[in-house]
Amino acid sequence: MKEQLTIGIVGSGYVGLVTAVCFAELGHRVICVDSDEKKIALLRQGKPPIHEEYLPQLLERHCNGAVEFTTDLKNATQRSQALFIAVGTPQSQAGNADMSYVDAVASEIARAITSYKLVVEKSTVPVYTNEWISRIMVRNGVPRDLFDVASNPEFLREGTAVVDFLHPDRIVIGVDSGRAADVLRAVYEPLTSGNYYKQAGAVPGPRMASGLPPLLETSTKAAEIIKHASNAFLAMKISFINVVSNICEAVGADIEQVSKGIGSDGRIGHKFLKAGIGYGGSCFPKDVAAFRYVAEQMGIEFGLLSEVEKVNTEQKQRFFQKVRSALWTFRGKRLGVLGLAFKGGTDDIRESPAIDLVRMFLQEGCIISAYDPAAMEKAKQVLPASESLSFAKDAYEAAADADALLVLTDWAEFAELDLDRLSRILRYPVVIDGRNLFDPALMRQYGFTYLGIGRAAGAHEKDPAFAYKLP
């Protein structure tokens, strides 16, 4: 990289904050802007508001140095060469993406422009957003030669976002001018040249031992579609394997064996073929809905995505009924719950199947003791305050004296629990595993009655209650 770029990042959520510290890690000067003064104050102290591997280290390394946190978007606009918009695009009641935050930020940027700027969509946005941002610029009096708008979608998984950013499968830049392409090539040059991976203290990841990340240059519309289509396809894989798991369960096959056989096909791959209680998080639910809405607006029927959503909803209901079948009745039953985040490695509870299920069990009169390594504080803010709900200090406390233990999030540490200790502290040794973390044969050896997803029910021989096949 010939010169250090000054980059503005608007938004300090998952995408914005990770992007800010990673651009600083690549050697750029970064100004991260957010309207939330309390969040900015915390970030200036080097305190990350989200749970993400490597984020605390990078924030400590670059805070108040290469990364500056501010609420002054006008000042950041005037000092930056490129401005990345990374604000939220939540799902509206109609099912489409709510673009009001993007609209407001683009308008404010436009009113502050006095020299050439590249405005980059980093948020997940529907196709044609690039054109709308350009219209906003022009309507606010910005001369056409003083700006370009580009699309640079993120492909970050919560829990591994920093590694995903610095060791990407691909870098997509949607550009409609050579000027915009030159700026984005310079932004990512430390990755595409491999220089970043040679420096001391680089975040480790797969690119250390393999080829350099490819930079894919497309039109802005293609880049916008790539992001929505990628998330919709991954959600489809999850719903597909969940339907297959239901077939496996009905015939007595093991979905883990079936998934391994399917994923071994190089055309399919193993990723996102893990049966469970459904997908959640801030991306898949809203992006599937938004992509379907875009198709409908273009007069294209995308019924496949409607089925993906339907399967995801039904998967939670199936798990709920599985627990009911194991316990017969709910009222007064004590449930130990392991996991509240939508996936392991993050504290994000947005659209979490675990949170939905906890609400369902509470409504049925269950008494719940829940534990999550990272998400309990956020869960307390959304779950109803109740004498029937408590939060445990660890997994064993959650399981103590429970009628059944439910695994709702795939935290790796849950798979390492002491099974002998677990069997002794449960009131009844019943484990209902919504993430298939355990080996059914091993669970039976330890005396558990074990129910997973897409697996035949495994009852210990001393548990006469499971000698009968219940509907």
Active site residue ranges = 283
Identify the bridge partners of residue 118 per DSSP, sorted by sequence position.
Answer: 82, 148
CA dihedral 131, 137, 28, 188 (to 10 degrees): 20
Query: What's at 299, amino acid-wise?
Result: G
CA neighbours within 13 Å on the CB side: how many for 178?
Answer: 0
3-state secondary structure of 283: coil
Tokens of 90: 């939540």
3-state secondary structure of 137: helix
Q: How far apart are CA 210 and CA 207, in angstroms?
A: 5
For the beta carbon of residue 367, count every other beta carbon within 10 angstroms: 19
3-state secondary structure of 192: helix
Q: Which residues contact 246 (CB under 8 A, 6 or more apart)?
A: 318, 454
Q: Which residues contact 403 (CB under 8 A, 6 or more apart)?
A: 327, 333, 334, 335, 427, 428, 430
Residues 125, 133 contacting (CB under 8 angstroms): no
H or E element that contains 17: helix 14-25
Q: How far apart are CA 135 and CA 123, in angstroms?
A: 18
Q: How far apart are CA 397 and CA 432, in angstroms?
A: 17
Closest CA to 374 of 344, 397, 403: 344
Per-state percent for the chain, helix, strand, coil, to nearest 5: 45, 15, 40
Cα angle value 326/339/86 (rounded, 5°): 140
- H helices of 283-402, in order, are 284-297, 303-327, 353-363, 376-382, 395-399
Residue 48: φ, ψ to 5°: -70, 135
Residues 446, 419 contacting (CB under 8 angstroms): yes
For the beta carbon of residue 427, count every other beta carbon within 10 angstroms: 15
